[in-house]
Structure 1
Amino acid sequence: MKPNLAILDEPLLYTEGLSKLLIHEKIFSSVEVFNSCENLYSHIKNSCTEFLMISSNILLLSDLYKCLDTIISHDDRIRIIVIGNSYDVIIIRKLFNKGIKSYLDKNSNYDEFIKSIHALSANEIYICEHAKKMMINFLSNEQEKQSPNIKEPLTKREMEILKLICDGYSSKDIGEKLFISINTVETHRKRILMKLNVKNSVGVVKYAMENNIFS
């Protein structure tokens, strides 16, 4: 059975159009649209909300933080996607610390939104391309500074593979793209995780947050 989605956004014409498209393409079984936090809270209390999309268009940043705190305190299993207004990395990091599972900015397209849904459905997190590139650039800069949190800097090939992992490529896809064997990709993947001291590819993003990599 397809999951359900709640949307906190406006204007009505846009939200209704998006909800009809998502149901028509069988992405969600139902889509509920709200234009106030109070109505959204009431819905969450009285129904099982699996996915929630919140747009920065409808809330000030301080109100967005409060909204997230209220939602997570009620049900921390809700997979929250925030559509930000080109937020900087410090704000994005705080949003993830507040409990969101996906960040897209106002320039993200429909295809990227669908990618985020697939990632969240697989219990992963998703960051839009713009924020993802900032993370990769920071990792590159940290290598040059010989950061104490990274015992050994990533090689050029490992950075290449790290970027493809963040882009959602499988080991098979990476091998085909770089013309190397799957075994070689897996060896590089293990070395990347070991150097960053994380357990999996999702851990790369968590590493960036938990070690204040965006600050």
Structure 2
Amino acid sequence: MKIIIADDHAVVRSGFMHILNFQEDMEVVATAADGLEAYALVAKHRPDVILMDLSMPPGESGLIATGKIHEDFPKTKILILTMHDDEEYLFHVLRNGASGYVLKNAPDEELLSAIRTVHKGDTYIHPTMATSLVREFVKQDIDGPEDDPFKILTKREIEVLPLAAKGYGNKEIAEKLFISVKTVEAHKARIMEKLNLKNRPELIEYALRKKLLNF
């Protein structure tokens, strides 16, 4: 199977590449340092699986890239790599199109098993996180989607929100996302309205609470 590794740390990419290329059924065809590069490499190589780090500052996050890749290249299975043992992260990455979720400190055997599992079309979740996943789905079903940005906001609004919270100006956001300044202004206005936020400090607080910022 063809695999791409997306992680902002070169030593992590190198370590995973060594492990995977040692397997007879795996070949790392490319590595990426952020979400934008990951998307471009998936478009070029059309891999079977991509290992996607969630947090890749200062570039585009793995969470946003996961949604884009899942939408445009559904045949590529996305396995999330992260240090976050967090049920909210787990819930959002699966809803955003990931096929699995494995912690970076997991044993090599677990990583290899997870890759082969998602490659077959199944979902890989560590047993200790399965209970959290069920609990979160039940909670969402009871509480509703009102405070879930991945249901309230559009994909483009989710891209604009963290950039605005980090302090980028409208022109800078427009250049990063290849859209017009007026479009950025419109997205920001809808974000504030949908989330019932009054100012930028509230926007920053919301983005931090929902783990939409990478620092």
TM bracket (short chain): 0.5 to 0.7
Shift of 1:20: 2.3
CA deviation profile, 1:139-175 (whole Å, cap 9, x unmatched): 9xx9xxxx9xxxxxxxxxxxxxxxxxxxxxxxxxxxx
Instruction: Pick closer, same or farther for the CA change 1:19–1:106 going to 2, 3 Å.
Output: closer
Q: Name the residue aligned to 2:68.
A: 70
Q: CA RMSD in A?
A: 2.6
Shift of 1:88: 2.5
TM-score by length of 1: 0.55
Match of 1:28 among 26, 29, 48: 26
- Checking the alignment, whether the CA contact within 8 Å between 2:35 and 2:62 is kept in structure 1 is no
Shift of 1:55: 1.4
Match of 2:96 among 92, 95, 98: 98
Shift of 1:96: 0.6
Q: Name the residue aligned to 2:40.
A: 42
The residue identity in structure 1 corresponding to 2:11 is: L
The residue matched to 1:65 in structure 2 has which SS? helix
Q: Name the residue aligned to 1:18.
A: 16
Shift of 1:121: 2.6
Structure 1 moving runs of 4+ over 4 Å: none
**Unaligned runs of at least 5 residues, structure 1:** 148-215
- Checking the alignment, whether the CA contact within 8 Å between 1:102 and 1:116 is kept in structure 2 is yes
Aligned mates of 1:46, 1:134 — CA distance in 2:
36
- Checking the alignment, whether the CA contact within 8 Å between 1:54 and 1:82 is kept in structure 2 is yes
Aligned mates of 2:113, 2:57 — CA distance in 1:
24
- Checking the alignment, whether the CA contact within 8 Å between 1:23 and 1:29 is kept in structure 2 is yes
Instruction: Pick closer, same or farther for the CA change 1:91–1:57 going to 2, 3 Å.
Output: closer
Q: Name the residue aligned to 2:114.
A: 116
Q: Name the residue aligned to 1:88.
A: 86
CA deviation profile, 1:184-204 (whole Å, cap 9, x unmatched): xxxxxxxxxxxxxxxxxxxxx
The residue identity in structure 2 corresponding to 1:43 is: L
Shift of 1:21: 2.4
The residue identity in structure 2 corresponding to 1:118 is: R
User: Sequence identity of aligned pairs in percent?
Assistant: 12
TM-score by length of 2: 0.55
The residue matched to 1:108 in structure 2 has which SS? coil
Shift of 1:27: 3.6
Q: Name the residue aligned to 1:129.
A: 127
Q: How does 1:142-181 map to 2 (within 5 A)?
A: none
Aligned mates of 1:77, 1:91 — CA distance in 2:
23
